[in-house]
Chain A
Amino acid sequence: MTISGWILLILSWGLIIALNVFCFVKVLAKKDDEREANASKLD
């Protein structure tokens, strides 16, 4: 494995894992009861 191979692997994995963690943290931070409350407000 060359250094450039390592760099591309770490960058790719890092970007994807960071994006996935960021998304799930934001998704789980908003509870489903908030979602339902928003929907009922609209109704």
Chain B
Amino acid sequence: MSAKRDTWGSRLAIIMAVAGSAIGLGNFLRFPAKAAANGGGAFMIPYFVSFLLLGLPLMWIEWTLGRYGGGFEHGTAPGIFHSLLQKNRFVKYFGVIGIFGPLVIFIYYTYIESWTLAYSFFAVMGKYAALTDQPAMQSFLRGFQGLESNAFFNGLGWAYFFFVVTFGLNIFVIYYGIRGGIERLCKVALPLLFLCACLLVFRVFTLEPPTSIHPDRTILNGLGFMWNPDFAALKSAKVWLEAAGQIFFTLSVGIGVILTYASYLSRTDDVVLSGLTASSTNELAEVVLGGSIIIPAAFVFFGQSEMQAIARSGTFNLGFVTMPLVLNQLPWAGFFGFVWFLLLFLAGITSSVSLAQPTIAFLEDEFDISRGRAVRYCGIISFILCQPGIIWLGRGVVDELDFWGGTFFLVVFATIEVVLFVWVFGMEKAWDEIHHGADLTLPRFYKWIIKYITPLFLFFILGAWVWQEWIPIIFMKNVTPECRPYILATRIMLLLIFMVLAVLVKIAWKRRKSRGEALL
């Protein structure tokens, strides 16, 4: 390897970067909706069980694998898996998923992130200030997304402008590297994110019932809607699956991002305490802050009768329709609207820069090209790949990208990681590796959990999702005939991306072999 790899400036920096990667739009939109719709407070029981049995073990495995691979100057899954199992020629190809997944998520996530930047601008400018009901706000959103021409928007101009700005900001941060870009961003963005969230929680907790006709619409009843348990829900497998899924998505495990971030650690750096700190920071943002904003606030303004429908209306509807409507009815609506969308934007950008990093690290580490060139290549290619999601949003392209990049391969990749680390690399070696330089010793029963419970949990999730949800999606059972060509084209694009990455892995290893380098 010609150039020295980048490193983190401090331990706090990587904790903030991993926490920033994990804290995303889902913490403030997906979690409260899932909890409210799946048993309220009772949802927290399967949620914490999943956190302890699935989330934390996967987090520690990824931190350890990343640090281990970084020792061999590999920052992405193909090289890391190869370092684990050097005699196997094929194991590196499993690692392609660890670059493919984050790249695919990056190409639609940046677009969604750009909506939050646009809406924070609209909030300040008062562009949606006069809207008072759900249909009008939905029409505003659809107009902005280019799905219809209406009184608010005519075409994709605004959306595209904010996408270019957001994309440019991401590339700018990534260009300056781990220490100069991502670390600096997270040091500013994460505290600011917590400040925005605390400000909104304080505002929500001081809300009064909007009219005397509905004295029951209090913030305490709003919290009750979120937290009052329906213990009967615990008998439903769906609720347990939803909780496990939420833990999976919220901690950013199974993507490949943590592997890359941890590869910039030194061999003596702790991963146990750092992983736990990043996870608990994410939980603080999700359960304590995320659970205290949108659902209680919406309850105060819409009441019990409309809340079930609102909670089930989907993430985007909650964030871009319900919440602006609630904030519109408060004094200083523009300011609080700006704070809400700034909060989402900060959550988004700290995640999106992490999603681009595996591709950059792959080009830098395996092809020995400079960071500047790697960022240029990645920037140009991902900008082109973003276009179908923007132009054909209404045809289901983003949903399709999210299914493959952000759901399907995420669980598959996590399962591969666990099996390779625990069962192929070996539990004893894995346990020693986790504890190398550790500031915290894990209880012995975690050895048993990591070896048996976590893989079984993952296989159960995989099986249940394939059975319940994935088969209809894979066979396009819920896709309208006019959208099918777009979905098929998206799948072909994804297949091509995967194949190109696999070929690049092959070329990288061939180059190293021809130069006589040890293939570590």
Contact = CB atoms under 8 A, between A and B. Distances in A.
A24 B277 contact: yes
Interface in A1-23: 1-2, 4-6, 8-9, 11-13, 15-17, 19-20, 23
A11 B228 CA distance: 13
Contact of A27 (B48, B220, B223, B274): B274
B268 A35 contact: yes
Nearest to B266: A39
A26 B223 CA distance: 32
B221 A16 contact: no
A26 B439 contact: yes
**Interface range on chain A (Cβ under 8 Å from partner):** 20 to 34
A13 B12 CA distance: 23
Interface residues of B, number: 33
Where chain A touches its partner, the secondary structure class is: helix
B287 interface: yes
Contacts of B42: 8
Given A20-B277, A27-B273, A8 B268 contact: no
A32 B11 contact: yes
Interface in B235-279: 266-269, 273-274, 276-277
Given A20-B277, A23-B276, A30 B41 contact: no
Interface in B279-321: 280-281, 283-284, 287-288
B514 interface: no
A40 to B, nearest CB: 9
Contacts of B287: 12-13, 16
B268 A38 contact: yes
Given A8-B42, A27-B15, A27-B273, A20 B283 contact: yes
Given A1-B221, A39-B267, 8 more contacts: A1-B220, A4-B229, A5-B40, A12-B287, A13-B287, A16-B288, A24-B277, A26-B277
12 contacts: A1-B228, A5-B41, A8-B41, A8-B42, A13-B288, A17-B288, A19-B283, A20-B283, A27-B12, A27-B274, A28-B12, A32-B10
